[in-house]
Amino acid sequence: MASYKHRKRRGGQAGPSDDAAAWLYGTHPVRAALANPRRKVLRLLVAAGQAAQWTDADPSPEAVDRGAIEALVGADTVHQGVAAKVAPLDQPDLADLLDHPGEADIFVVLDQVTDPHNVGAILRSAAAFGARAVITTERNAPPESGALAKAAAGALEAVPLVRVTNLARSLRAIAEAGVWIFGLEASGERTLATAEPSGRCALVLGAEGAGLRRLTGEACDEIVRLPIAGAVNSLNVSNAAAVALYELVRKPHKTN
């Protein structure tokens, strides 16, 4: 089993920093956080009249009016009368994931995908199709947040969101571990459906519009595309991730 890295508290003590705490909201994300033994939940706010639904929660719910929740998470959010303040999750190191392979591992790699709703939706698809982890960068990527967790619908607690400092260098490490790397771009000569993944593979997606950066594309073993036709020439990055992940899991991977 992969070990988990620890962020440093001020003063040098190991552990996730409460200073980076975020407010999650909505029934599904909050219940998933409460059920995750790796997640430290600092506070639980519940709209007055709904406390009976959370009597088994730890920490004990604080009954507040809905306005108090909206002041923390935004008046336009679908918070369903519940919000939880959580410390960030410890996440495994990429090296640990690569050193402890599973059967036909699939990694999702995001190159400067900055919209938290897209990242959350990609996490949800990654969980649905059994991806090992979603890998993104420390910079130019959204932090854990209520919007990301809401879009992930609980998957933030289930799929590691691994952040790396240098994506091109990390892709080289992924390749050296025997993982075949597919970059998804409209310029690909063949479709992902005609590719033949062998064993472990990684799916790399770039930001909408900009696509994959040059060094990212050069680090891929092959650039492939989806067979898009008709009035549109591209998909939202989270939709493209879902289609591509389905394509990767619908047929058995060859063994090396």
The predicted-structure confidence for 26-77, as pLDDT tens digits, reads as follows 999 999 999 999 999 999 999 988 888 898 899 999 999 999 999 999 989 9
Residue spans of the domains in the chain: they are: 22-86, 94-249
pLDDT value of position 255: 45
The predicted-structure confidence for 97-145, as pLDDT tens digits, reads as follows 999 877 668 999 999 999 999 999 999 999 999 999 999 999 889 999 9
Task: Report the predicted TM-score, pTM, of the whole model to 2 decimal places.
Answer: 0.88
Nearest to 109 by CA among 17, 3, 219: 219
**Reported confidence tier of residue 209, pLDDT bands at 50, 70, 90:** confident
Tokens of 116: 């938290």
Q: 24 forms bridges with which residues in the sheet?
A: 84
**Reported confidence tier of residue 6, pLDDT bands at 50, 70, 90:** very low
**Neighbouring C-alpha atoms within 13 Å toward the C-beta of 92:** 18
The whole-angstrom separation of Cα 9 and Cα 247 is 42
Q: What is the DSSP letter of 127?
A: H
The whole-angstrom separation of Cα 78 and Cα 1 is 36
Q: Are 47 and 64 in contact (CB under 8 A)?
A: yes
Q: What percent of the chain has pLDDT over 70?
A: 88
The CATH T-level fold of domain 94-249 is: Alpha/beta knot (3.40.1280)
